[in-house]
Amino acid sequence: MWSSRLFWRLFLTYAALTVVAAVVFVVLFLSRQRTAIESEVRQRLRDEAAVLEVLAESAWESPDAPIGELRAIWQPKMESLGREVGTRLTLIRPDGTVLADSSADARQMENHRDRPEIEQATEQGVGFMTRPSLSVGEPFEYCAI
């Protein structure tokens, strides 16, 4: 039996099919896991952005306030809040001016008006984008509202 060609052909065929089935299962499983994790991350970002939007209402109520004063108020708050929630947070005025950032100096940051997630949020109310950060250089999932 062990020396039969038919046995080895059948054995190798079934072994190959088993390996292929296992690989397909793993690929499908990992794909679904990735989708679920991305969905959870986006929901968390959306929730954090909504909370930040409420907290920052006073920044929108004084559109003529000097940027320097607003940055002096908001930069320490953003740094503290970013550490607390473990997420990078950026407070941006409707014209794209960065008021504060939890991981970088807002004074050194360029206007964000043309960022894809900002444009999407302007059009649809919320915007998501996965891309490398221009200021930090690492990939991030962005959410804007």
For 111, what's the count of Cα atoms within 13 Å in the CB-facing half-sphere?
A: 6
Give 127's strand partners.
144
CATH of the domain at 117: 3.30.450
Q: Decide if 87 is inside a domain.
A: yes
Which structure tokens are listed for 47? Answer: 């929730």
Of the candidates 128, 136, 93, the one whose C-alpha atom is nearest the C-alpha of residue 112 is: 93
Instruction: Work out the pLDDT band at 1, boundaries 50, 70, 90.
Output: low
Q: Decide if 14 is inside a domain.
A: no
- pLDDT above 70 as % of the chain: 94
> pTM higher than 0.75, yes or no?
no
Determine the residue type at 14: Y
For 133, other C-beta atoms within 10 Å of its C-beta total 14
Identify the burial level of 73 via C-beta atoms within 10 angstroms of its C-beta, where 0-12 means exposed, 13-18 middle and 19 or more buried. Answer: middle
For the segment 96-109, the average pLDDT, to the nearest whole number, is: 90
For 135, what's the count of Cα atoms within 13 Å in the CB-facing half-sphere?
A: 17
Chain-centre distance for alpha carbon 83? 16
Q: Are 128 and 117 in contact (CB under 8 A)?
A: yes
Q: Decide if 33 is inside a domain.
A: no
Give 139's strand partners.
132
CA distance 97 to 74: 13
- pLDDT above 90 as % of the chain: 38
- What is the count of structural domains for the chain? 1
Q: Is the pLDDT of residue 2 over 80?
A: no
Domain boundaries, position 64: 41-144
Q: Decide if 28 is inside a domain.
A: no
Note the pLDDT tens digit of each residue in 63-84. Answer: 677 888 888 888 999 999 889 8
Q: Decide if 26 is inside a domain.
A: no
Q: Decide if 64 is inside a domain.
A: yes
